Amino acid sequence: MFSKLHEECGVFGIYRNDPDVDVVACAYHALYALQHRGQESCGIAINDDGVISGYKDIGLVNEVFTKLVLDRLPRGNIAVAHCRYGTTGNQNRMNAQPLIINHVKGSMALAHNGNLTNAGELREHLELEGAIFHTTSDTEVIAHIITRERIGTPSIEAAVSSAMNKLKGAYSLVISSPQKLIAVRDPQGFRPLCIGKLENSYVFASESCALDSIGATFLRDVEPGEIVIVDKEGLRSIREHCGEPSSLCVFEFIYFARPDSVIDGSCVHMARQRAGAFLALEHPVQADVVIGVPDSGLDAALGYAKQSGIPYDIGFIKNKYIARTFIQPTQKQRENAVRIKLNPIASVVRGKRVVLIDDSIVRGTTSARIVKLLREAGATEVHMRVSAPPFLNPCYFGTDIDSREHLIACNHTVEEIAKMIDVDSLGFLSTDNVVKLADASHCGFCTGCFTGKYPIPVPDKMEKCKFERKLGKTGE
């Protein structure tokens, strides 16, 4: 049971055209910049003159890639890297990426961000034809489809283009063949992917902050449906799958992406400030101070303060040394986990009417504990504002909202939620304004988790992989 949203992964790739560019170092630093997109596992695959090898494991970037591991990686000309938060497939080393595939036409390394809506259907078809799977993630389904198409096509990019006719859902891919680096974005553009240049070398990444981390210059976003190829001839693209209405996940701007990233033309930091400004217009209140829940609530809180005229201040200090390995062995410790991770600054909130800004409410348990901290620190009133609409529907494109039963807004009114989390008032951003956050973008947005209106057909239900289901008492 989750209390915050998680997005699937971050991907990175680099094609070296400069002798002084170290692709291993670039991949390592880029993964650090993309760590917020996935903390379960990470990996780097290196193409050394057509021979692809790599290393991956469960853990954070600094845990997996020690100096010894990095020194043992070959210094090739192409690298593909990945950090993972799994929404399909268990958390284990087997499901870590990039996947490295060896087949009759050569080798391939593949990193994937997103979630296929027809993965189960495709997997069953492949299994009935004799395909053997080593993971439980939909990324391996993509790898199978591409390699099968490669047998009958003249190039890896032609195979990818043909595979896209069969893949449905969200996928931003970075692929290395023996001689090429390829970036692919699904026709709806659910997940971000951008292109950069480092001297004469080309780079692909989920977010522009990864380009900044290695000193690369941002060129442009990969267009929805576009296949971008880099080889010894330079950079070119295939656009035969482009032209459908785009549907970028709007939560990239609300929560997932780093504030310093620019996605599809809009600065994430400014988009979150706009969310706060919209909240101030939609849900005004008399208060003394505006604070945000670190980290993604801070920008929205600043926007609320600017629009409302209520002073902004830092209300919480976040313990940055609490990572995924933080253990909560007893119920009492689980209840106090928020206090370990967040500590209110009492002098900021004591005796004051507080506007508290957060990016979402999923189950409500974390929100209730945060509000309790403010009450104990002396806040006289707490007015919560949320920079997203209420979650009412599951997501099929890579966010871990898997069913309505886990969502507090599906079973309670706004007034009931306010009482449950003990706030004096509660306001959510409207669905009309959530699509206006990225004012410089010309793309459309997916808001299915708020509205139930999805940009493409979705399955009736999200099935758990049969290899992750226990037999049960019947043993059937």
The catalytic site residues sit at: 9
Chain centroid to CA 21: how far? 28
Q: Under DSSP, is residue 95 helix (H, G, I), strand (E, B) or coil? A: helix
- Angle (CA) 172-178-183 rounded to 5° is 15
Measuring CA to CA, how many Å separate 25 from each of 34, 122, 217, 396, 418? 14, 36, 17, 34, 48
- Which among 146, 247, 164, 194 has a CA at the least distance from the CA of 13? 194
- Which among 125, 185, 131 has a CA at the least distance from the CA of 161? 185
Q: How far apart are CA 250 and CA 264, in angstroms?
A: 11
Directed axis angle between helix 414-421 and helix 365-376, to 10°?
Answer: 50
Q: Which two tokens stand for residue 193?
A: 């992917």
SS3 content of the chain, % helix, strand, coil (to 5): 30, 25, 45
- Residue written as tokens 């096509």? 153
- Give start and end residues of each alpha helix (H) in 283-336: 296-308, 331-335
